[in-house]
Amino acid sequence: MPRLDPFLRHAITPPAFDQAKLHRERLVDALHANIPKKLIVIAAPPGYGKTTLLADFHHHTEIPTCWVRLSEADVDVMRLASLLQHSLERRFRRLRGRPNLEALGSASPAALARSFASAIETHVSEAFAVLMDDVHLVNTSRPVLEFLDEFLACQPGQVTLIAAGREVIDISLARLMAEGNLAGLGPQDLALTPTELTEVARLQLGVNLDAAGVDALLEETRGWVTGVLLSRTLGNGLLRGIRDTSTPLVYDYLAAVVLNREPDDVRNFLLEAAILPVMTAEACDTVLGRSDSGRLLGRLSRSGLFLLSAGDGSGTYEFHPQFREFLLSTMEARDRRRLRVLRQRAAAWLEGSGQVEAAVRLYFEAGNPKRAAAVAERSSWPMRRAGRFATLEEALDCMLADCGFEGPPEAQLELFTEARP
C-alpha cells in the first residue's frame, strides 16, 4: 500500500490513548452494548471528551475499527468517500480498490453509498465499527447527508457507525429509531461522575481530591471534562478558589492563563503553529522557520496541553478545536501582519503537499485570492473528473465573491473547465 500523505494519515489514525488518560469503562461498555445497532450517536458541546471516548473505545475493544476524522473539506461527498475508503482499506486489505471510486466519479451519493455497502457485504464477514469524528462539520452538506442516510439504510449487519460531533447528524434518525437501530450518548452521559472526576484529578492534575473538593469541582464544571482538565495549570490554587468564589470557569480566561504561563519560546510556537490544521515536525519547521518543532510537539503532546497526537507513530498532531480558535484569535490581535505571512507560507506548504482545499482556504485567509484561484484552476479538471464538485464550488465561490462575480454555479464552473479536455 503506498505511503499516505501526513494529512490523510492523520485523518484515518486514531488518537493515541495512553495510561495518563482516564479509561471510562462505563461509556465504553455502553458502546459495546449497542454494537448490534446500525448507528450510535455521541453528541455534546465542545470539551466533553467525545474524541477521547472514541479513542478509548478503539483502545479497549476487540472489534476491528476504522477511524474517520472529518474536516470542513469533507462536505465534498467524494472526498469523504475517499477518506472512508482509505480507512477501510487500512483495516481490511481485501477492500483495496473496492469500491472503485474512479469509476463512480459521476455517481449519485446514494449510488456511491450502495457501492460501499455492497463491497463490505461481499468482502468482510466479521463485525466491525466505523468511528467517525466531528460529524457536525458535514451537517450543511446535502450530498454527504444523502450518502450517510443511504449507507445506513443498506448498511450490512456486521457494520456499526459510531458518529461523534457537536450536533446530532442530520439524517433520518426516526427510521433507525423505529427499527431499533439507533443509540445515543449526550452531555449528561459524558459528564464526569464523582468517581471519574477523582481519578482525572489524580491522573492528570496530580491532585488528590477530598469529598468537598469533588463536590465543589462538580458544582462548578457540571462534569465538563475540559473545564476540569483546564485546572491542571492552576492546581490546588484553583480548587481552593472554587470553594472561595462564585466566579465561573471561563474557557478563554483559563486558556489565556495556560498560554501566559508557558515560556516565551513555547508560547510563540503555540500561537504560530496553530496556523496549520494538522501539524508535523516538517510542516512546522518549514512554515515557522524552526528546527526544533519535533521536540516541542512531543513535549506538548506529553503534557496534554490541548494537543492531540495520532497514534501508531504517525507523527501528526492537532490542537483541540477550541484551543486552536483561541490561539488564532490571539495571534490576530497581537500581530496581524505576522499571521498573514504565516498563512501564506502554510498555504504554499500545503499546496506543495497536495492539500488543495486547505491551501486554497489559507491563501484566501492570507489575502491572496489570485494564488487561491490559480491553485483551484490547476486542480479543477482532476477534481471534476473525480466528482469533487463541492470542493470546486467552494473554492470558486470564495474567489468569485472576492472578484464580485455573480452567477449560477454552472456558470462559475464553466469559467474553470471550458478549456479543459
The candidate with the shortest Cα–Cα distance to 15, out of 126, 142, 164, 124, is 164
End-to-end CA distance of the chain: 31
Instruction: Give the domain-ending residue among 278, 306, 331.
Output: 331
Question: What angle is formed at CA 397 by the lines to CA 391 and CA 402, rounded to 5 degrees?
Answer: 135
Q: Using omega within 30 degrees of 0 as the cis cutoff, is the peptide bond preceding 99 cis?
A: yes
At residue 392, the pLDDT reads 65
Residue 286 and residue 160 in one domain: no
Q: Is residue 256 in some structural domain?
A: no
Let me know if residue 309 belongs to a domain.
yes
Clarify whether residues 165 and 234 are in a common domain.
no
Q: What angle do CA 254, 326, 49 make, to 5 degrees?
A: 70
Sign of the torsion angle spanned by Cα atoms 195, 199, 205, 211: positive
* CATH code for position 86: 3.40.50.300
Nearest to 357 by CA among 392, 322, 381, 386: 392
Can you give the residue range of the structural domain that contains 360?
335-421
1 domain residue, yes or no? no
Element (H, E) at 184: strand 182-185
181 is a domain residue: yes
Is 282 a domain residue? yes
Residue 127 grid coordinates: 463485525
Domain count, the chain: 4
Q: How many CB atoms lie within 10 A of CB 49?
A: 27
Residue 258 is assigned to a structural domain of this protein: no
CA atoms within 13 A on the CB side of 256: 7
Residues in a beta bridge with 39: 161, 182
> Do 135 and 33 belong to one domain?
yes
In DSSP terms, 15 is beta-bridged to 310
Would you say residue 254 lies in a domain? no
Judge whether 23 lies within some domain.
yes
Cβ neighbours of residue 366 closer than 8 Å, sequence gap 6 or more: 340, 341, 343, 344, 347
DSSP conformational letter for 46: T
Residues 124 and 173 grouped into a single domain: yes
Cβ-count burial 356-377 (b if 16+ within 10 Å, e if not): bbbbbbbbbbbebbebbbebbb
Q: In what order do the strands lie in the sheet containing 65-69?
A: 65-69, 128-133, 159-165, 39-43, 182-185
By CB atoms closer than 10 A (0-12, 13-18, 19+), residue 260 is exposed
pLDDT confidence of residue 207:
76
Based on the fold, state whether residues 323 and 392 are members of the same structural domain: no
pTM for the whole thing?
Answer: 0.74
DSSP notation for 127-150? -EEEEEE-GGGGTT-HHHHHHHHH
Looking at the structure, do residues 125 and 173 belong to the same domain, yes or no?
yes
User: 85 and 121 share a domain?
Assistant: yes
Nine cell digits for residue 380:
479543477
Nearest to 61 by CA among 93, 22, 21, 30: 30
Per-residue pLDDT of the chain (421 residues; tens, 9 = 90+): 455 677 888 899 998 887 778 899 999 999 999 999 999 999 988 778 899 899 999 999 999 999 999 988 889 999 999 999 999 999 999 999 899 988 888 889 999 999 999 999 999 999 999 999 999 999 999 999 999 999 999 999 999 999 999 888 888 888 899 899 999 999 889 888 888 888 877 877 677 878 887 777 777 667 677 666 655 444 444 444 433 333 334 445 556 666 777 888 999 999 999 999 899 999 999 999 999 999 999 888 776 667 777 766 678 888 877 788 888 988 998 899 999 999 999 999 998 888 888 888 899 889 888 888 888 778 777 777 666 666 666 666 655 555 544 445 444 445 444 434 4
Q: Are 44 and 176 in a shared domain?
A: yes
pLDDT for position 117:
95
> In this structure, what DSSP letter does residue 207 have?
-
Number of neighbours of residue 386 by Cβ within 10 angstroms: 19
121 and 185 housed in the same domain: yes
Measured CA to CA in angstroms, residue 96 lies from 2, 74, 118, 249, 262 at distances of 11, 21, 14, 48, 46
| Same domain flag for 17 and 77 | yes
From 190, 210, 232, give the residue that closes a domain.
190
Q: Are the C-beta atoms of 90 and 31 separated by less than 8 Å?
A: no
Please indicate, yes or no, whether residues 62 and 24 belong to a single structural domain of this protein. yes
Helices 356-365 + 369-385 axis angle, to 10: 160
Same domain as 323, residue 355? no
> Residue 104 has which C-alpha cell?
463512480
CATH number at residue 317: 1.10.10
Contact status, residue 372 vs residue 391, Cβ threshold 8 Å = no
Task: Say how far apart CA 394 and CA 288 lie, in whole Å.
Answer: 28
